[in-house]
Amino acid sequence: MKFKRGLLYLGISLSFMLVASAIWLAYQEKPLYTHVFKTETGYGYSIIDHGKIIIKQDFIPAVASQLSFCSKEDAKNTGDLVLSKISKRMSPAITQEELQKIGIKFNCQN
């Protein structure tokens, strides 16, 4: 009798732990990340936080004309730079100098 009661308590405890783990996983915060996407003329990036777009950049920032990124890598590297700044609680603004340091192309013909 005591053995059956012990198994019942064990089963209830394990079920509770399983449900609690499932709830925790469902509500676990998604990390901040960069998403690269294709545009009509090249590539862009978004910064996603908890499933919501907080920045969508179709064009290369800090450039007067509306130029898309030439490659997925350029968009990803720029998005990762912005993400790094956000993670450090800095302004996400990007300068042309920063873009040049990470090797972003401004002319897709070259």
What residues does each domain of the chain span? Answer: 1-28, 33-101
pLDDT at res. 53: 95
Does the pTM surpass 0.85? The reply is no
Closest CA to 87 of 47, 58, 51, 56: 47
Please tell me the distance from the alpha carbon of residue 66 to that of residue 51, in angstroms, as a whole number.
27
pLDDT digit string, tens, across residues 17-73: 665 555 555 556 568 999 999 999 999 999 999 889 999 999 999 998 899 999 999
pLDDT digit string, tens, across residues 16-27: 566 555 555 555
Please tell me the distance from the alpha carbon of residue 17 to that of residue 40, in angstroms, as a whole number.
49
Instruction: Collect all residues with Cβ–Cβ distance below 8 Å to 2 and sequence separation of at least 6.
Output: none
| Cα-based distances in Å from 66 to 44, 60, 88, 93, 97 | 11, 7, 28, 16, 18
Number of neighbouring beta carbons within 10 Å of residue 67: 17
Question: With contact defined as beta carbons under 8 Å apart, do 42 and 108 qualify?
Answer: yes
